[in-house]
Structure 1
């Protein structure tokens, strides 16, 4: 591995951990020999990428990187940041990704990042789904208070005509056959979303589809979007789904904190 690749790996770990790092962190988290860890941290400090705290002796990003982060923020819109996160996640896992926005009580797809793995249930930009039955929708709803969520659905979740009894007949994406059946059940799922930091939906708005998603807001523009990875239900084990959710969460946390999103600023690692 080149020094540039190693330095990038160190910076990615720092972004994921959201804290200063020591040589021992590189040894433990990256399985890096002590001599290599010491050398790369020294070189990154000498070239101005890192600074070393004189008291703790831990390493943190330099002012140069901080200045560059402001440049990225100024030149990238929230939707572009979400799309870039999906590029990173898609290249790593091969799954399809979506960027969506909350419109009323529906979630609307804005961008699609096709995965490299076969997936027949892919939807297109403009597609609407029930917010309560999708990971992107629940991730957006999780940013609201329980009282606000209840006020959204005074008549309950399901449309008056009801959902199809046969999943194969549930062609109306806003009439999911599965998912929370009541507002109380939705509130419970929202609580789980807040706790783990990402939303999980399985066989809900789209039968046979599983997705994990997070939402981010840009305080400067007032914009709030969500993005997710989507894949066939049953294609991944529970442990892998949790790993995917944590990977999406890590990307969302990095973007959110760079924008000063209070939701991610308060979210504990």
Structure 2
């Protein structure tokens, strides 16, 4: 099993470095039989990592691999593009604010600016956190299609980060629907006791949600519905500014 996985990874690296490979080239490089090379190629192609534009032709980089490369590139460039605005958010709202990206069923915080409020949250405790338990994760999950959401979650066991964390697929779907309707997400004590957060998706020039901005506060400052609506109104201009920067960047 491990040998097969190692061969598949070697195959993906081979195609990524060369741009395209033939069955004969794969068999020679991996030192396997043509039938084994064909099985590996078809397995990677079925998973979207490779593509075969022409029947019996060479294999090229597939859409899944391109998406992974784009996600990694965004994770490294977003702090540079949006870091200045994130500082403005922390200064303007006096609260700790973070930029997060989606990685499978998790989110990763790629940048955090600490607020200056007398009572504030320092920084996210976990760099990688289950998306369903966080405001940033829900904001990003809401930007996926229903099919993509189901593929990620319908048969998955949702990790219980805190006692109040969303527990099942039906509950998550209902919460995602709310997020789509109002264009912001909230969680109170589900990722960390005593801590609440509100997040908005940040979309690029094509309308795709590529990150989320999260404002993290002591839960008492988000205990009422009006508190959340007020914070969302104050956050919106900063998100609009981030999206303008992304649109200009992609247009260059």
Q: Normalised by the shorter chain, which TM-score bucket?
A: 0.5 to 0.7
2:177 aligns with: 191
Tell me, yes or no, if the aligned pair for 1:79 and 1:225 is still in contact at 8 Å.
no
Deviation at 1:229, TM superposition (A): 0.6
- Given the superposition, is the C-alpha separation of residues 82 and 139 from structure 1 closer, same or farther in structure 2, using an over 3 Å criterion? farther
Are residue 115 (structure 1) and residue 102 (structure 2) matched?
no
Check conservation: 2:87, 2:113, Cα contact below 8 A: yes
Distance 1:121 1:158, change over 3 A: farther
Output the TM-score relative to the length of structure 1.
0.56
Decide which structure has greater helix share.
Answer: 2
How far apart are the structure 2 equivalents of 1:251 and 1:234? Answer: 23
SS of equivalent to 2:202: strand
Residues 140 and 209 in structure 2, CA contact (< 8 A), matched pair in contact too: no
Q: Classify the secondary structure of the residue corresponding to 1:92.
A: helix
Unaligned 5+ runs, structure 2: 1-76
Give yes or no for contact 1:133–1:201 (8 Å, CA) kept in 2.
yes
TM-score by length of 2: 0.59
Q: Secondary structure at the match of 2:109?
A: strand
Structure 1 residue 250 and structure 2 residue 251: aligned?
A: no
Q: Trace 1:44-63 onto structure 2 (pairs within 5 A).
A: none
Change (3 A) 1:179 1:82: farther
* Aligned equivalents of 2:113, 2:186: Cα separation in 1: 19
> How many residues are paired up?
169
Greater relative CO (CA pairs within 8 A, separation 6+): 1
Q: CA deviation at 1:82?
A: 3.4
Partner of 1:31: none
Distance 2:230 2:80 in 1: 24
Evaluate the alpha carbon distance shift between residue 133 and residue 186 of structure 1 in structure 2; reply closer, same or farther with a 3 A threshold: same
Shift of 1:243: 1.3
Which residue in 2 is equivalent to 1:155?
155
Give yes or no for the alignment of 1:133 onto 2:120: no
Matched with 1:233 is: 219
What's 2:104 paired with? 104
SS in 1 for 2:139: helix
Deviation at 1:155, TM superposition (A): 2.7
The 1:219–1:108 alpha-carbon spacing in structure 2 relative to 1, beyond 3 Å, is: same
The C-alpha deviation readout for 1:5-64, integer Å capped at 9, x for no partner, is xxxxxxxxxxxxxxxxxxxxxxxxxxxxxxxxxxxxxxxxxxxxxxxxxxxxxxxxxxxx
Q: 1:240 to 1:81 in 2, by over 3 A?
A: farther
CA contact (8 A) 2:188 2:194 kept: yes
Q: Deviations over 1:156-175 (max 9, x none)?
A: 4424xxx4xxxxxxxxxxx3
Structure 1 segments unaligned to the other structure (5+ residues): 1-76, 164-174, 262-269
